[in-house]
């Protein structure tokens, strides 16, 4: 007797091989049958005729770990499960909620609070292990693997200073990383384009790679550059992975060129072509720069380096407003930063840094940062994603330049004023043209098509602001648009990119495959209707075509029914 039996479906098993007809039987939390069920019976039977049965989607780059300790995390993360996600890797971009060490605890608490709008002064955990124990005691909606955050390890040693770390400080970071790995972190994440990770150097990262080698952890990186030195930034991850013989992961690959003095004119042309793409898309080879970087990754793999890459199926990114500012302006903690933004002379200096800063490798100088998106993408790139106050809620979703025009100020002044009004709590979308227009979309095709590039969401679901459409329909959108509509790649390859590829790279044993003995993380979807209904203007829309979702054998999504009360997820500790 099976607990659940899925009959007559086409199994696309996550390996990339062709789909095949088979029944899938589940007992407890495992798949115990893959083949003909014959006359077997089950407590729950599903007729999957005409449907695809595949592994639950494995998201290799998420920030859902910022939510899993909360009592309301099931409601917040429901959109992930409804789109078929059963497992995520969190703690990305150098930021997670542990360890909160004591040496520079105020700097760590401020760093976390500015992004999450939560005060962690009374957090009932200090170490990664204590955080994991709390989460497990409360129950989890999804399977969750978490990376140790380089940003927190670094803040504990250097505080709010903008400088390199000493050998002794790196040694203590290495020790703290070993403790986090011993307690179950699956690797180390870095946010090298963000402060404070931007102040590190390759020597520091290689030193930390020694701990990862010892514990079998993965090194992930929001790169130091996604602009004209992107090749060097990829080489840095390859160097860390090669030197320590560890898996490396290049996070959410994209490319923003520096057009120099011609930038305003070229960006104006791009925006015009983006508007035209509502009717006709100019067939320019925009995918070539991304393809070159994928080729760079594949050359490293041919040389024996274990390096992977993920991509979001969108041209609209999102981050904190302060990330648009030069690193020198972020010294000293929140109050010091906001005081700096209030001074007219400091604003003039910030504007000069934005307009004239040299994006020179390795981008550790005060004006050498490469997340200089106002210079690279223009002031028009920013739209408000989330604020804290009710007064400014109507600004969410609106362009910064339009807000500046209404206030009769320069866009930088509008950004500074809004940060001051919100005490630093401002998240933003950024896009070169219209959100997810069909013209700039072409620049993502190389990664969306390549069989060795994973698909990710970069989820930030914290119950505030205007969410990205990816948080509600990333994987249905990917399979519907790029497999069914555009036919960029076969379904089997696409499913592997969403499941088995990430599970293998992050060593999530028993996940990402439909096979006997694997954990019963299963999605049943209709290949003819799977799609996302979410869009930039109305993102909070469930997808179509996702009919059933099982997590560890528990039937969480059954048509329109969602059983979040089951809390079937597990914390996937390293080595477990």
Burial bucket for residue 478 (CB in 10 Å: 0-12, 13-18, 19+)? buried
The whole-number pLDDT of residue 39 equals: 87
Query: How many whole angstroms separate alpha carbon 162 and alpha carbon 198?
Result: 9
Q: Is residue 44 part of a domain?
A: yes
Query: How many whole angstroms separate alpha carbon 66 and alpha carbon 87?
Result: 15
Query: Whose structure tokens read 């019963």?
Result: 520
Q: Is residue 269 part of a domain?
A: no
Cβ atoms of residues 368 and 203 within 8 Å: no
Q: Is residue 216 part of a domain?
A: no
Q: Is residue 409 part of a domain?
A: yes
What would the two tokens of residue 474 be?
A: 């990333």
Same domain, yes or no, for 325 and 425? yes
With the CA atoms of 312, 318, 324 and 327 taken in that order, what torsion angle do they form, in degrees rounded to the nearest 10?
-70
The whole-number pLDDT of residue 575 equals: 82
The number of distinct structural domains making up the chain is: 2
- Angle 482-487-492 (CA atoms, 0-180°, nearest 5)? 80
The helix (run of H) or strand (run of E) holding residue 562 is strand 561-562
**Can you give the residue range of the structural domain that contains 550?**
1-55+510-530+541-565
Burial bucket for residue 30 (CB in 10 Å: 0-12, 13-18, 19+)? middle
Same domain, yes or no, for 520 and 425? no
430, 463, 483 - which closes a domain: 430
Residue 499's closest CA among 58, 53, 18, 54? 58
Same domain, yes or no, for 415 and 516? no
Q: Is residue 457 part of a domain?
A: no
CATH number of the domain residue 30 falls in: 2.30.40.10
383, 405, 430 - which closes a domain: 430
- The pTM of the full predicted model, rounded to 2 decimals, is 0.97
Residue 362, preceding peptide bond in cis (omega within 30° of 0): yes
Mean pLDDT per block of 10 residues along the chain (576 residues) reads: 97 98 98 95 97 98 98 97 98 97 92 92 95 98 98 94 93 98 98 93 97 97 96 98 98 93 94 95 93 98 98 96 92 90 97 91 86 94 96 97 98 98 96 94 97 98 95 98 98 98 98 98 98 96 98 98 97 91
- Angle 400-95-240 (CA atoms, 0-180°, nearest 5)? 115
430, 464, 495 - which closes a domain: 430
- Quote the radius of gyration of the chain (alpha carbons, Å): 23
Q: Is residue 418 part of a domain?
A: yes
Query: How many whole angstroms separate alpha carbon 130 and alpha carbon 112?
Result: 17
Residues 6+ apart with CB under 8 A from 53: 6, 9, 10, 11, 12, 22, 24, 514, 522, 523, 524
The whole-number pLDDT of residue 207 equals: 97
Q: Is residue 477 part of a domain?
A: no
Q: Is residue 17 part of a domain?
A: yes
* 3-state DSSP assignment of residue 462: coil
């Amino acid at each position: 007797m099976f607990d659940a039996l899925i009959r007559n479906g086409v199994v696309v098993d996550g390996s990339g091989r062709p789909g095949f007809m088979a029944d899938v039987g589940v007992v407890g939390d495992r798949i115990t049958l893959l083949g003909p069920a014959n006359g077997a019976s089950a407590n729950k039977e599903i007729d999957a005729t005409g449907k695809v049965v595949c592994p639950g989607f494995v998201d290799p780059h998420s920030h859902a770990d910022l939510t899993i300790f909360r009592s309301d995390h099931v409601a917040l993360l429901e959109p992930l499960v409804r789109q078929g996600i059963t497992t995520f890797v969190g703690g990305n971009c150098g930021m997670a909620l542990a360890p909160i060490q004591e040496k520079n605890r105020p700097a760590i608490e401020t760093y976390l609070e500015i992004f999450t709008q939560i005060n962690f002064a009374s957090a009932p955990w200090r170490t990664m292990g204590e955080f994991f124990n709390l989460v497990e005691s409360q129950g989890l909606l999804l399977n969750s693997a978490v990376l140790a955050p380089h940003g927190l390890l670094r803040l504990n040693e250097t505080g709010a200073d903008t400088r390199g770390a000493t050998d002794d400080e790196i040694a203590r970071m290495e020790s703290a990383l070993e403790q986090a790995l011993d307690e179950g972190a699956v690797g180390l994440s870095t946010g090298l384009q963000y402060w404070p990770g931007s102040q590190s150097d390759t020597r520091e990262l290689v030193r930390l790679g020694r701990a990862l080698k010892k514990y079998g952890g993965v090194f992930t990186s929001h790169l130091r550059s996604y602009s004209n030195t992107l090749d060097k930034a990829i080489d840095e991850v390859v160097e860390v992975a090669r030197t320590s013989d560890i898996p490396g992961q290049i996070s959410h690959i994209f490319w923003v060129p520096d057009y120099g003095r011609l930038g305003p004119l070229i960006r104006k042309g791009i925006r015009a072509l983006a508007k035209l793409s509502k009717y006709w898309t100019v067939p320019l080879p925009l995918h070539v720069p991304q393809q070159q970087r994928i080729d760079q990754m594949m050359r490293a793999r041919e040389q024996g380096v274990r390096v992977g890459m993920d991509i979001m199926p969108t041209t609209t990114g999102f981050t904190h407003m302060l990330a648009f500012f030069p690193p020198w302006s972020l010294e000293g903690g929140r109050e010091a930063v906001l005081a700096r933004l209030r001074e007219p002379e400091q604003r003039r200096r910030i504007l000069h840094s934005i307009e004239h800063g040299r994006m020179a490798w390795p981008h550790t100088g005060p004006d050498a940062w490469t997340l200089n998106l106002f210079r690279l993408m223009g002031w028009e790139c920013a739209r408000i994603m989330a604020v804290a106050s009710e007064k400014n809620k109507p600004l969410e979703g609106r362009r910064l330049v339009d807000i500046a025009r209404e206030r009769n100020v320069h866009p930088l002044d509008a950004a500074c004023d809004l940060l001051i009004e919100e005490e630093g709590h401002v998240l933003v979308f950024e896009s070169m043209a219209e959100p997810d227009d069909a013209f700039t979309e072409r620049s993502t095709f190389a990664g969306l098509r390549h069989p060795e590039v994973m698909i990710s969401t970069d989820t930030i679901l914290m119950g505030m602001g205007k969410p990205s459409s990816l948080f509600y329909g990333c994987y249905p959108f990917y399979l519907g648009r790029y497999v069914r509509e555009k036919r960029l790649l076969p379904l089997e390859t696409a499913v592997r990119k969403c499941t088995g590829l990430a599970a293998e790279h992050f060593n999530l044993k028993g996940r990402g495959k439909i096979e006997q003995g694997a954990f019963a993380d299963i999605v049943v979807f209709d290949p003819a209707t799977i799609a996302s209904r979410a869009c930039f203007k109305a993102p909070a829309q469930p997808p179509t075509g996702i009919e059933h979702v099982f997590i560890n054998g528990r039937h969480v999504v059954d048509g329109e029914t969602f059983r979040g009360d089951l809390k079937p997820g597990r914390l996937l500790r390293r080595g477990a």
